[in-house]
């Protein structure tokens, strides 16, 4: 089977790594891929958002299965285009991907389907948004409606910060067209968790729980990023909360989408806020999280090709997932300056030493090959991921590997997994 993985991040390297373990995979391509995927797949110089070129390539190479990593091509309708051409692609349709492509669409769907979420208002007029903020008070959350690479959500602790956020998004156009409409919503406090599931339009097969770390700095301080680390499983998601998330969040969303003639096939990712044993949904994403994908896939013992094909064929009810019971931790190493501006093209050293450690996989994100050198090529550069019999063992092993990897300006959080560690004790 010839497989095409679309994307270039840590999530895509993790997917290539897992797909390459399937006896059914004979050849894997990554478009555009990175220095990590190059060791397992053939990288193809096509942007993840160039749907026309990706389609031409898939037809020319007789690709049997296309796995779409990032959200942007899904929102552009890549799966619809491939299906129209008679090709098999895993992911939601363009319409269903609006769950992530439009915060307004997502919030309205949650309200229609009875999924618990924060109260909100949506605005195309900045002055109306500001009036709503003054009426509601702070803390409050301001979100660009469209895609903003995980950075379009501003948690404002004061009214002044919220008003500045409106100007940043709608007047200064920080996120371009994504800020034509904004969603202003109630601030939810508690502990976040990521709840991911495979879906085939009717059946929801949940993955084990995970937790992301969005803020740039230790102690959940600083600006939001695409994610600075993750671990799985997340102890905050107890068995009772897991069952509640399935019954009140995931299944109602899938049933509601199907009832409205818009069946959801792909990964459904619910961002949960948990407080006092109750769940509310912050947002839905339409793909694997990055970096949650990394700790999840190294725990997944089942053949990923079989799972994805079952989802496409509407046969997920025949699938049972098998998991490694050990804990996993992924520490993201980022370029100096991220999530702001940062340099590229800096040589990374120590990768082989880190990868040689037992139960450690170094997933590449923002990297590129230049001869035999691996250079930085993005904000989030590596996802150093480890397994351990306990959370503390997985944390120690991950940071042991991190300390072996160096490049000028490298930065990372030193507290990934701390919340899980506290619960483990």
8 Å CB contact between 162 and 133: yes
Residue closest to 274 by CA, chosen among 192, 155, 215? 192
8 Å CB contact between 184 and 121: yes
Q: What is the pLDDT of residue 224?
A: 84
Instruction: Select from 318, 341, 369 the last residue of a domain.
Output: 318
For tokens 């990868």, the residue is 355
CA–CA separation, 105 and 158 (whole Å)? 27
Extract the runs of DSSP E, i.e. beta strands, from 210-343: 211-212, 215-217, 221-224, 229-232, 265-275, 278-285, 327-334
CA dist 182 → 119, 138, 152, 299 (Å) = 14, 17, 10, 37
Same domain, 379 and 272: no
Same domain, 393 and 296: no
Question: Which residue range is the domain that position 144 belongs to?
Answer: 125-180
Q: What is the pLDDT of residue 260?
A: 97
Same domain, 196 and 307: yes
Same domain, 137 and 63: no
Same domain, 237 and 155: no
Is residue 111 situated within a structural domain?
no
Tell me 313's DSSP state: T
Sort residue 173 into left (φ over 0), alpha (ψ -120 to 50) or beta: left
Is residue 290 situated within a structural domain?
yes
Same domain, 213 and 258: yes
Q: What is the pLDDT of residue 269?
A: 97
Same domain, 172 and 202: no
Is residue 79 situated within a structural domain?
yes
- Total domain count for the chain? 4
Say what the pTM is.
0.95
Instruction: Select from 284, 318, 352 the last residue of a domain.
Output: 318
CATH code at 51? 3.40.50.20
Q: Tell me the pLDDT of the chain (425 aa) as tens digits.
A: 999 999 999 999 999 999 999 999 999 999 999 999 999 999 999 999 999 999 999 999 999 999 999 999 999 999 999 999 999 999 999 999 999 999 999 999 999 999 999 999 999 999 999 999 999 999 999 999 999 877 788 999 999 999 999 999 999 999 999 999 999 999 999 999 999 999 999 999 999 999 999 999 999 999 888 899 999 999 999 999 999 999 999 999 999 999 999 999 999 999 999 999 899 999 999 999 999 999 999 999 999 999 999 999 999 999 999 999 999 999 999 999 999 999 999 999 999 999 999 999 999 999 999 999 999 999 999 999 999 999 999 999 999 999 999 999 999 999 999 988 887 65
Q: What angle do CA 130, 132, 133 make, to 5 degrees?
A: 65
339, burial (CB in 10 Å: exposed 0-12, middle 13-18, buried 19+): buried
Same domain, 311 and 391: no
Same domain, 248 and 355: no
Q: What is the pLDDT of residue 277?
A: 87
Instruction: Select from 266, 293, 318 the last residue of a domain.
Output: 318
CA dist 313 → 49, 89, 263, 265, 310 (Å) = 25, 11, 13, 10, 5
8 Å CB contact between 167 and 200: no
CA–CA separation, 386 and 140 (whole Å)? 36
Same domain, 197 and 297: yes
140: tokens are 């409050």
Same domain, 53 and 158: no
Is residue 107 situated within a structural domain?
no
Is residue 118 situated within a structural domain?
no
Q: What is the pLDDT of residue 173?
A: 95
Is residue 226 situated within a structural domain?
yes
Is residue 273 situated within a structural domain?
yes
423: tokens are 């619960």
Same domain, 211 and 159: no
Residue closest to 332 by CA, chosen among 195, 409, 227? 227
Q: What is the pLDDT of residue 424?
A: 63
Is residue 101 situated within a structural domain?
no
């Amino acid at each position: 089977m010839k497989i095409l993985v679309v994307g270039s991040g840590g999530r895509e390297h993790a997917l290539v790594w897992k797909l390459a373990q399937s006896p059914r995979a004979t050849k894997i391509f990554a478009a555009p891929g990175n220095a990590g995927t190059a060791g397992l797949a053939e990288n193809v110089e096509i942007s993840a958002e160039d749907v026309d070129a990706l389609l031409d390539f898939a037809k020319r190479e007789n690709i049997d299965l296309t796995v779409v990593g990032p959200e942007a091509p899904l929102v552009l309708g890549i799966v619809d285009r491939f299906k129209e051409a008679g090709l098999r692609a895993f992911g939601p349709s363009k319409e269903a991907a609006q769950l992530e492509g439009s915060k307004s669409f997502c919030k309205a769907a949650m309200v229609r389907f009875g999924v618990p979420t924060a109260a909100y208002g949506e605005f195309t007029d900045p002055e109306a948004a500001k009036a709503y903020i003054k009426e509601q008070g702070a803390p409050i959350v301001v979100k660009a409606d469209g895609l903003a690479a995980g950075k379009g959500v501003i948690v404002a602790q004061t009214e002044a910060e919220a008003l500045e956020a409106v100007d940043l998004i709608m007047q200064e156009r920080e996120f371009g067209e994504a800020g034509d409409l904004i969603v202003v919503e109630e601030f939810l406090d508690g502990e976040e968790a990521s709840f991911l599931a495979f879906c085939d339009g009717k059946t929801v097969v949940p993955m084990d729980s995970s937790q992301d770390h969005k803020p740039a700095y230790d102690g959940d301080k600083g600006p939001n990023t695409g994610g600075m680390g993750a671990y799985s499983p997340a102890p905050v998601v107890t068995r009772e909360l897991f069952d509640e998330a399935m019954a009140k969040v995931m299944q109602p969303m899938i049933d509601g989408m199907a009832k409205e003639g818009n069946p959801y096939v792909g990964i459904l990712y619910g961002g949960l806020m948990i407080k006092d044993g109750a769940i509310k949904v912050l947002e839905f994403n339409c793909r694997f999280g990055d970096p949650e994908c990394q700790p999840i896939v190294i725990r997944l013992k089942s053949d990923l090709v079989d799972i994805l094909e079952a989802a496409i064929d509407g046969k997920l009810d025949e699938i049972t997932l098998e998991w490694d019971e050990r804990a996993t931790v992924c520490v993201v190493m980022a370029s100096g300056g991220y999530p702001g501006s940062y340099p590229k093209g800096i040589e990374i050293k120590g990768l082989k030493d880190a990868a040689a450690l037992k139960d450690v996989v170094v997933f590449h994100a923002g990297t590129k090959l230049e001869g035999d050198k691996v250079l930085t090529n993005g904000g989030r550069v590596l996802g150093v991921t480890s397994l351990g019999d306990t959370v503390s063992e997985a944390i120690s092993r991950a940071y042991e590997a991190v300390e072996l990897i160096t490049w000028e300006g490298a930065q990372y959080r030193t507290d990934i997994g701390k919340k899980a560690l506290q619960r483990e004790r």
